[in-house]
């Protein structure tokens, strides 16, 4: 039996993963900003679930939560950094305080959790860190520049972390979901207070009042949860796992476009070396 520590379990992918992990008999530290939102999961699994209130932007609370997990179960074997939210704004529209809070939640919160669990994982020479990113990190849609930047940052951290931890028997994985039938594009989505008319046909089309994607996403959170469990159980977990046919298609388009652009400009790129 392994112990999972999962953030953002109140709804969506985090809740689906917590339910799946507990259903198969693993221990799970399930966290949310409001503990009431996960009480039913904990009540259904009193011996294996530890519900904790956790705001990942509060690093003292992060440290306390990890200590509580280790005191209850002895170790954290798998950390899943799932907590996060979306923010829609053209770059010019973005409010500085909103953006700071976004990065505090989507980047610095996960980093604080990683740093809190790593001493135990290093001492055991085992463990898995799963960071939930987004296909947005690759496609950078208009209106999602700040959100995409948080996920690109998290992926950059994960890539370096993976290389640092591999010799120690620990692995790190980025998960890139496409659109899933969750509250992400509904209740969990925020946006700038200001909307500039010049961006109406780009970022403006993706503001909440104009976005019709919520409730039509193709992804099944329960299936995504099982995919993450499969990766964690694997002896050869990938550095990056895409989730959803839409994510696969989007990634293929991005790679094709990038390769074509690199090839088109390769002579100029190569011209900047010092002369022999």
> Rounded to whole angstroms, how far apart are CA atoms 272 and 263?
16
> Rounded to whole angstroms, how far apart are CA atoms 153 and 103?
9
> Rounded to whole angstroms, how far apart are CA atoms 189 and 84?
10
Classify residue 213 by its DSSP letter. -
Q: What does the pLDDT look like over 34-44, one tens digit per residue?
A: 999 999 999 99
In this prediction, residue 216 carries a pLDDT of 66
Contacts of 216 (CB under 8 A, 6+ apart): none
CATH superfamily of 3-266: NAD(P)-binding Rossmann-like Domain (3.40.50.720)
**Is 163 labeled as catalytic in the residue annotation?**
no
- Given pLDDT bands bounded at 50, 70 and 90, which one contains residue 45? very high
**Is 115 labeled as catalytic in the residue annotation?**
no
> Rounded to whole angstroms, how far apart are CA atoms 255 and 276?
32
Residue tagged active-site, from 10, 151, 174, 192: 151
Classify residue 89 by its DSSP letter. B
Q: How far is CA 231 from CA 113, 172, 173, 228, 240, in A?
A: 20, 11, 9, 5, 10
> Rounded to whole angstroms, how far apart are CA atoms 13 and 225?
7
Low-confidence winner among 147-156, 207-216, 263-272 (lowest mean pLDDT): 207-216
Q: Is the pLDDT of residue 185 over 60?
A: no
Mean pLDDT of the region 98-111 = 98
Residue tagged active-site, from 10, 134, 146, 147: 147
Mean pLDDT of the region 84-107 = 97
Q: Is the pLDDT of residue 256 over 90?
A: yes
- Given pLDDT bands bounded at 50, 70 and 90, which one contains residue 148? very high
Contacts of 150 (CB under 8 A, 6+ apart): 84, 102, 103, 106, 107
Residue tagged active-site, from 10, 87, 133, 144: 133
Q: How far is CA 228 from the centre of its chain?
A: 12
Low-confidence winner among 112-116, 154-158, 180-184 (lowest mean pLDDT): 180-184
> Rounded to whole angstroms, how far apart are CA atoms 86 and 63?
25
Helices (H), the chain: 12-23, 39-44, 59-73, 96-103, 109-124, 136-139, 145-165, 221-233, 245-264, 266-270
**Is 151 labeled as catalytic in the residue annotation?**
yes
In this prediction, residue 143 carries a pLDDT of 95
């Amino acid at each position: 039996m392994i112990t999972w520590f999962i953030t953002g379990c109140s709804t969506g992918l985090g809740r689906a993963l917590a339910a799946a992990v507990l259903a198969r008999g693993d221990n799970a530290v399930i966290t949310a900003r409001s503990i009431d939102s996960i009480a039913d999961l904990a009540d259904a699994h009193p011996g294996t679930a530890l519900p904790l209130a956790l705001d990942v932007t509060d690093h003292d609370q992060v440290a306390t939560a990890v200590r509580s997990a280790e005191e209850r179960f002895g170790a954290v074997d798998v950390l899943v950094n799932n907590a996060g939210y979306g923010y829609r704004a053209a770059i010019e529209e973005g409010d500085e305080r909103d953006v700071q809070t976004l990065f505090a939640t989507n980047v610095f919160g996960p980093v604080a959790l990683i740093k809190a669990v790593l001493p135990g994982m290093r001492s055991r020479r085992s463990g898995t860190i799963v960071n939930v990113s987004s296909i947005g990190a690759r496609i950078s849609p208009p209106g999602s520049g700040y959100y995409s930047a948080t996920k690109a940052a998290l992926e950059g951290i994960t890539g370096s972390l993976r290389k640092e931890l591999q010799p120690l028997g620990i692995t790190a994985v980025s998960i890139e979901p496409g659109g899933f039938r969750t509250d992400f594009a509904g209740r969990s989505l925020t946006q700038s207070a200001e909307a500039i008319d010049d961006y109406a046909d780009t970022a403006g089309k993706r503001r909440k009042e104009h976005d019709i994607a919520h409730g039509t996403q193709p992804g099944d959170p329960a299936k995504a949860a099982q995919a993450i469990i499969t990766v964690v159980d694997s002896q050869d977990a990938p550095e990056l796992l895409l989730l959803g046919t839409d994510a696969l298609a989007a990634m293929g388009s991005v790679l094709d476009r990038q390769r074509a652009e690199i090839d088109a400009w390769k002579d100029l790129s190569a011209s900047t070396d010092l002369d022999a």
